Chains A and B, each alone.
Chain A
Amino acid sequence: MARKSKKAKRLTLDDVKAQIGKYLVATLEGAVGPMSVEAIAPLYSPANIKLPHLLLQANVVSIIDDIWLDDGRFRRLYDQYEYIKVWRTDELPVEPKLYELPSEIEARLSSISKNNAYRIATSPFVNDPKHPSHIMIWTRNEGAAGERATLEWELKIIRPFLQAIKVYEQRFGNRPEVLKEVDTRLKMIAEKTSVEAQLSI
């Protein structure tokens, strides 16, 4: 029996053409950069007409023109990159607030830490101690005076940062390797906190 391929399930642009729906929408899924295609002006078109160049962004649903379903360049990109999603719909999805965090995390996070957390979740990750994202997840505090100061720093600064990475990661790529590193460190902080609490008693 022939094996069912996951790839076969993806709609072709001709399938999309046959769908029913008021709007044709597209997005990019995963930790990928934006993509654009230059629109070609029709022959004998007046000078300075504004051309509908295509611009797709990761996790942002955009309405696109039907001309793109027949555009050879876009069809090539669609076949080449599986992360391009195109479909028809009657209702436009509510624009997700991709940058927002739960208020309890947001309140304990500096804007630069938030930026860094967002960047880690939207960039490729290599499980190597020298990789920038790995270094940030495992940030050490070489300036802390003693174990207690380190723990305080981990609780107040690092824990919300890791929680923010986790929220963003689950929202975008949901990559097990990133979540595993974040969870391991969160668990280590929790264990240290527990030991500290017992000693205080």
Chain B
Amino acid sequence: MSKNWTEVIKPKALVGHNALSASQESSFWQVESGSLTKLNALVRQVMLSQDTALRSRFYAAMTAPIMLIIPYVELYDRFFVSTSFADGEDVLHPSEVVPNIVTEVHPQSGVVFNQPSYLFSRPNFSMFSSGMKVPWQALSTAGWPILERNMNQIMWEIARKRDAKAKTAIDNAIPTGHILSHTGGVVKSSVDYIIKESNKIGFPVTQAVINPGRLMEMQSWTWTMPNIPEAVATALVQNLYYGQYGGVNWFVNPNASSTQIYFGGDPTSIGWHDMKGSARTDRDMNIETGEDLVAIRDPLHAWTVENALPLWRLDII
């Protein structure tokens, strides 16, 4: 008995997989190993066929639609250290509150003893899920790339939702003094202020999330040094920005806000992104309505900022 296509070509099981990278997967489908030879043979048969109608139908089905959106890649997760926990595991984060003190004393005076002073906190977890319903009727016109694209878009949306949570955790934690409100285009002095102030307090910013359009305003900055190094000038002409400015790793993405630029230091001095459990996909079919169903469940996620001092934000108001 011949198999239904969903039995041969299945969505990749995300169980035990890092769901973070799932949004960047090139393919979410895997072909049953026993059927791969048959599938390859079928492709070859169509390719070699003299039946032009069959060939054109096949090409149409295999042609990916033009993308109307760009893939969503998580932007703000880079400010957190990722940790994974098993289902049911208790997640506790210790946080130092008031570190120790050493005093200058008279040789005969007593010693001031320090004690550990810490708190434990349990993060609040969130979960995201989505699914895809494929009517069998649609399979007559919608080919493989269309189904794959649909799956990609769902994973991008899950990534977008996770990212919004990470961003909220950052926004809630950034100290007021670390938010520079700026009117006009992004200027060198504003960026320099953040780099300088972050170095002053000992938590230098080393990475930034910025919209490429904003970063390209760097091209019109006034560089007051006598001569811009050749490499910098070349980069400014070719890319409209210099990627190593201020020792910061400028992470550009069109999905990044064009009115808010986020700066951060080393993730190990900021906070955690905890994941509990595993992502999973479940499949079924509804014979009454004639549909294949794919349900996607992300693991539990929580983002905690323990030290907000390395975080800065430039708001364009």
Using known A-B contacts A37-B183, A38-B187, A53-B189, determine if residue A31 contacts B176 with beta carbons closer than 8 Å. Answer: yes
A-B contact pairs, 19 of them (CB 8 A): A33-B176, A33-B178, A34-B181, A35-B182, A38-B184, A40-B184, A48-B224, A50-B222, A51-B187, A51-B222, A73-B183, A74-B183, A108-B103, A110-B101, A112-B99, A115-B201, A123-B175, A132-B308, A139-B119
Listed residue (A32, A36, A108, A115) with the most chain B CB atoms within 10 angstroms of its CB: A36
- B305: nearest residue on chain A (CB-CB)? A132
CA distance A143 to B116 in the complex (A): 6
Which residues of chain A from 146 to 160 have a CB within 8 Å of any chain B CB? 149, 152-153, 156-158
A141, B115: Cβ atoms closer than 8 Å: yes
> CA of A39 to CA of B98 in the docked complex: distance in angstroms?
42
> Please, which residues of chain B bring their CB within 8 A of the CB of A139?
97-98, 117, 119
Quick one: given A50-B224, A115-B309, are A34 and B183 in contact (CB under 8 Å)? Answer: no
| C-alpha spacing A141/B97, complex, angstroms | 9
With a CB–CB cut-off of 8 A, which chain B residues contact A115?
Answer: 201, 309
Judging by beta carbons under 8 Å apart, are B175 and A36 in contact? Answer: no
Task: Judge whether B193 is part of the interface by a CB distance below 8 angstroms.
Answer: yes
Q: Say yes or no: A153 contacts B183, CB within 8 Å.
A: no
- Whole-angstrom CA separation of A124 from B172 in the bound complex: 10
Q: Which of A73, A123, A141, A149 contacts B176 (CB 8 A)?
A: A123
The complex places the Cα of A145 from the Cα of B171 at a distance, in Å, of 37
Q: Check: B61 CB closer than 8 A to any chain A CB.
A: no
Q: Does A43 contact B (CB under 8 A)?
A: no
B119 touches A36 (CB 8 A): no
Interface membership of chain B positions 84-113, coded 1 if the CB is closer than 8 angstroms to chain A and 0 otherwise: 000000000000011111110000000011
A32–B176 contact, CB under 8 A? yes
Min CB gap B189→A, angstroms: 5
* A144 sits at the interface (CB 8 A): yes
Report the minimal beta-carbon distance from A18 to chain B, rounded to whole angstroms: 25
A119 within 8 Å of B by Cβ?
Answer: yes
Residue numbers in A under 8 Å from B100 (CB-CB): 110
Q: Is A109 an interface residue (CB 8 A)?
A: yes
Give chain B nearest CB distance to A143 CB in angstroms. 4
* Cα A115 to Cα B116 with chains together (Å): 19
Q: Complex: how many Å from CA A18 to CA B222?
A: 33
Given the complex, which residues of A lie within 8 Å of B117, measured CB to CB?
139, 141, 143-144, 153, 157
Q: Tell whether A189 is near chain B: CB-to-CB under 8 Å.
A: no
Nearest-neighbour CB distance to chain B for A78, whole angstroms, equals 11
Taking a contact as CB atoms under 8 Å apart, the answer to whether B201 and A35 are in contact is no
| Interface contact A33-B119, CB-CB below 8 Å | no
Question: Is B182 a contact of A37 with CB atoms below 8 Å?
Answer: yes
A-B Cβ contacts below 8 A, count: 118
Interface residues in B99-137 by Cβ distance below 8 A to A read: 99-103, 112-120
B163-182 vs A, CB cutoff 8 Å, 1 = contact: the mask equals 00000000001011111111
Contact A122 B176 (CB under 8 A): yes
Q: How many residues of B contact A (CB 8 A)?
A: 39
Please tell me if A55 contacts chain B, counting CB pairs below 8 Å.
yes
* CA A99 to CA B309, docked complex, whole Å: 16
Chain A residues with CB under 8 Å of B119's CB are 135, 139-140, 142
Q: Which residues of A contact B150 (CB under 8 A)?
A: none
B187 — which chain A residues lie within 8 A by C-beta?
A: 36, 38, 51, 53
- Which of A38, A141, A142, A161 sits near B185, CB closer than 8 Å? A38
Q: What is the CA–CA distance of A152 and B112 in the complex, to the nearest angstrom?
A: 10
Is B244 on the interface with A (CB-CB < 8 A)? no
Given A36-B182, A53-B190, A55-B190, 7 more contacts at CB 8 Å? A32-B176, A34-B179, A110-B99, A112-B98, A135-B97, A139-B97, A149-B115
B121's nearest neighbour on chain A, judged by CB, is A135
Chain A residues closer than 8 Å to B97, beta-carbon distance: 135-136, 139
| Complexed CA–CA distance, A185 and B276 (Å) | 37
- With the chains together, A36 CA to B181 CA distance in Å? 6
Q: Let me know if A33 and B181 touch, CB within 8 A.
A: yes
Say whether B183 contacts A77, CB under 8 Å: yes
Q: Which residues of A contact B99 (CB under 8 A)?
A: 110, 112-113
Tell me whether A8 is interfacial, beta carbon within 8 Å. Answer: no
Closest Cβ of chain B to A86, distance in Å, is 15
Interface flags, A23-57, vs B, CB<8A=1, else 0 = 00000000111111111100000001111010100
- Which residues of B in the span 178-204 have a Cβ within 8 Å of any Cβ on A? 178-185, 187, 189-190, 193, 201
Closest to B114 in A: A157
Min distance, Cβ B175 to any Cβ of chain A, angstroms = 5
Q: A2: shortest Cβ distance to chain B, in Å?
A: 33
Contact residue among A35, A55, A108, A144 (Cβ-Cβ distance under 8 Å from B115): A144
